[in-house]
Amino acid sequence: MQIKAALCREFGQPLSIETLELAAPGHGEVLVDVKACAICHSDISYADGAWGGDLPAVYGHEAAGIVAGTGPGVTAVKPGDHVVVTLIRSCGHCHYCVRHSLVMCEEVFPLDQKGPLTFTDGSPCEQGLRTGAFAEKVVVHESQIAPVPADMPFDVASLLACGVITGYGAVVNTAKVAPGQAVAVIGCGGVGLNSIQGAALAGASPVIALDLSEDKLAAARSFGATHGFSPADPEHAREIRRLTQGRGVDFVFVTVGVEAALASAPRYITRNGAVVVVGMPPNGVRIPYDPGKLAAWNQKIIGSKMGEARIGHDIPILVDHYHKGRLKLDELITARYPLEGINEAIAAVKDGRALRNVIVFD
């Protein structure tokens, strides 16, 4: 079938709207009519060439839509179901999956060997981030799908596919923050605000937001931060110590892939504290640390990929939080754009003028 998609042909250049062919779903695969796809910084980083990859490609991986068809063997969803589409593709039985680390699944799927996208002349096009959702339709493995209620708006539901599960999951799944533990979050964009929400829901205290933007610090307070500071303020580290009885925080979540933020993070943590790396820096970024202090103070540096999400478990919980008014999602959306406006939407995200911009489809 033919679809319209936003295509990246050259790193760092505007995307073009082109017609591509999309294969029918194979065994265990699902065809989804995309109704909304949020723009994540990971899409932008890939399109800019920060992590390499093959071109031409269709990016976009925070999607929601309606199941339009299923391949043989699909049992999780049926046509007509409203779903979130994620990049987390898992087999359920490999070394990592049986240890509940679905984001580390080592299975090689048919879609990994041959993607579903081609040009009209038959030449291949990369399915970026295993999703390719800057497009009218996608074909993904059924493990990438999580049903959502039919009354949940698609633009809101799309946020659950990455930004929310990544930020929230880093707190709840990776760090397992307990009530009363002190938390700091560096970077108050879409992912950072969801780490703040996760910390507040976990009962952390204080919850400290760190960002250079006063607007984002104000947003952080509305999402559950008890305090907010600019890292440019020479007194901010002293204030964090004061708020934690001179010790520092138990966890600092670095939700931006910025070298300076990653390098500064260890200064905020207490004995037994941990730096949780959530945001992905470009290839080649290196930061120094003091291994003697790390060992003597029993500190830790932990990675968190996609919030270690198990979408079948986590997304229903998040939907319940949303419906009960405990999780802000509508407030994360800055603006909505048609597919043809994707370059404008991306530019606003790059300029720091958006929490989450969403591409919406008729």
Q: Can you tell me the distance from the alpha carbon of 270 to that of 273, in angstroms, rounded to the nearest whole number?
A: 5
Q: Give the pLDDT of residue 188.
A: 96
Closest alpha carbon to 43 in 362, 361, 357: 357
Contact 111, 127 (CB under 8 A): yes
Q: Which of 62, 134, 68 is nearest to 309 (CA)?
A: 62
Write the DSSP symbol of residue 3.
E
| pLDDT tens digits, one per residue of 119-153 | 999 999 999 999 999 999 999 999 999 999 999 99
SS3 of residue 314 by DSSP: helix
Overall average pLDDT of the 104-112 stretch: 98
pLDDT at 304: 98
pLDDT for position 313: 97
- For tokens 């103070």, name the residue: 297
Dihedral sign computed on CA atoms, order 244, 246, 248, 250: negative
Report yes or no: 360 and 337 within 8 Å, Cβ to Cβ: yes
Tokens 């003028």, residue? 353
Residue 110, CB-side half-sphere exposure with 13 Å CA sphere: 12
Instruction: Give the integer Cα–Cα distance in Å for 192 and 159.
Output: 13
Q: How far, in Å, CA of 145 to CA of 84, rounded?
A: 6
CA torsion through residues 126, 120, 60, 48, sign: positive
Predicted pLDDT of residue 5: 98
Cα–Cα distance measured from residue 356 to residue 333, given in angstroms and rounded to the nearest whole number: 5
Instruction: Report the percent of the chain where pLDDT is more than 90.
Output: 97
Q: How many angstroms separate the CA atoms of 278 and 175, rounded?
A: 11
- The dihedral of CA 8, 342, 80, 331: what is its sign? positive
Per-residue pLDDT band at 269 (split at 50, 70, 90): very high
- Over range 15-32, report the average pLDDT: 98
Alpha-carbon span 284 to 51, nearest angstrom: 9
Neighbouring residues of 351: CB distance < 8 A, sequence distance ≥ 6: none
Task: State the average pLDDT for the chain.
Answer: 97
Give the C-alpha separation, 112 to 134, whole Å.
18
Q: Give the lowest-confidence range in 15-24, 26-35, 281-290.
A: 281-290
- Residue 153's CB: how many other CB atoms inside 10 A? 15
Q: Does domain 166-305 have CATH number 3.40.50.720?
A: yes
* Alpha-carbon gap, residue 167 to 305, rounded angstroms: 10
308 close to 174: Cβ distance less than 8 angstroms: yes
Q: Residue 301 — pLDDT band, cuts 50, 70, 90?
A: very high
Number of neighbours of residue 185 by Cβ within 10 angstroms: 37
DSSP H or E run through 38:
strand 29-38
- pLDDT value of position 213: 93
**What is the spatial distance between Cα 341 and Cα 346, in angstroms, rounded to a whole number?**
9
Query: Model-level pTM greater than 0.85?
Result: yes
Mean pLDDT throughout 276-288?
92
Which sequence spans correspond to the domains of the chain? 2-161+329-360, 166-305
Q: Judge: domain 2-161+329-360, CATH 3.40.50.300.
A: no
Look at residue 195 in the predicted model and tell me its pLDDT: 98
Is the pLDDT at 242 greater than 90? The verdict is yes
In this structure, what are the phi and psi dihedrals at residue 45, rounded to the nearest 5 degrees?
Answer: -60, -45
> CA angle, corner 222, sides to 219 and 227, nearest 5?
85
What's the pLDDT score for residue 362?
Answer: 82
Phi, psi values for residue 269, rounded to 5°: -95, 155
Amino acid at position 349, single letter? V
Confidence of residue 353 (pLDDT cuts 50, 70, 90): confident
Q: What is the pLDDT of residues 200-239, one digit of tens each?
A: 999 999 999 999 999 999 999 999 999 999 999 999 999 9
For 269, residues 6+ apart whose C-beta sits below 8 A from its C-beta are: 248, 249, 250, 251, 252, 275, 299
Supply 360's token pair.
């919406």
- pLDDT given at position 352: 85
Distance between CA atoms of 287 and 293, rounded to whole angstroms?
A: 15
